[in-house]
Amino acid sequence: MSVLEIVTYPADILKRGARPVDRIDSELNRFIDDMGETMYARQGVGLASVQVNDDRRVIVYDISEEREKKQFKTIINPELVELRGERVSEKEGCLSVPGLRADIKRAEWVRVEGLDREGQPVVIEADGLEAVVLQHEIDHLDGVLILDRISRLKKELYKRKVLKKIRQCPKP
Ligand code: NI
């Protein structure tokens, strides 16, 4: 298994989002293992394929206390089919938007349908942190970042900060 490189804003693929998986094979399963490995290596609670520069519609996450067991959940072609209630997810962060923590309005409860690694249908009903993570990762697959869920002013400030940093980087 290998730890993959995380792509960060303003990478194009983060805006483009992902396309549905039409083939679940050993290659895809190896990629999913790498996604899990990458998520643990970067101390993330969830990861979407586009964050490692791949546009297959896959998310992984682990909100358990026993991360050392590395028993993460995988959903292929996840879709949010039902949302209920409202909550503010406090100081939500994202590996692809380094340096930003923001309060984001999310649904309190969600129902997600998709496929597992064997291609069998899965249905997940979740609230609390799990519901937030599912919404965050599925947003990624739809090309949406936490930057798109904060005020335009805050987004502009972040954009300026990032662009300044890119300009300061020495070019190879
Ligand atoms: Ni993220």
Asked whether the predicted pLDDT for residue 92 surpasses 90, the reply is yes
CA 26 to centroid of ligand 1, rounded, Å: 26
3 in any annotated domain: no
122 neighbors 78 (Cβ within 8 angstroms): no
Count how many domains the chain has. 1
144 Cα: distance to centroid of ligand 1 (angstroms): 9
pLDDT of the residue at 170? 73
Residue 2 lies in a domain: no
> Rounded to whole angstroms, how far apart are CA atoms 134 and 67?
18
Positions marked active-site? 137
Determine the pLDDT at residue 104. Answer: 97
- Strands across the sheet containing 109-115: 46-48, 58-61, 73-84, 109-115, 121-127
Identify the three-state secondary structure at position 152: helix
Would you say residue 1 lies in a domain? Answer: no
Establish if 106 belongs to a structural domain.
yes
CATH code of the domain in which 93 resides: 3.90.45.10
pLDDT in tens, 110-154: 999 999 999 999 999 999 999 999 999 999 999 999 999 999 999
**Which residue range(s) make up the domain with 50?**
13-168
Q: Say how many Å lie between the CA of residue 141 and the centre of ligand 1.
A: 10
For residue 5, tell me if it sits in a domain.
no
What percent of the chain clears pLDDT 70, i.e. is strictly above it? 99
Tens digit of each residue's pLDDT (9 = 90 or more) over 24-61: 999 999 999 999 999 999 999 999 999 999 999 999 99
Please, which pLDDT band fits residue 171 given cuts at 50, 70 and 90?
A: low
Ligand 1 centroid distance, CA of 45 (Å): 9
CA of 136 relative to ligand 1 center, distance in Å: 6
In a domain, 6, yes or no: no
141 in any annotated domain:
yes
The whole-number pLDDT of residue 48 equals 98
Amino acid at 118: E
Confidence (pTM): 0.95
Place of tokens 């923001």: 102
The predicted model gives 47-76 an average pLDDT of 96
132 located within any domain? yes
**Stretch (H or E) spanning 131:** helix 128-141
| Cα 145 to ligand 1 centre (Å) | 7
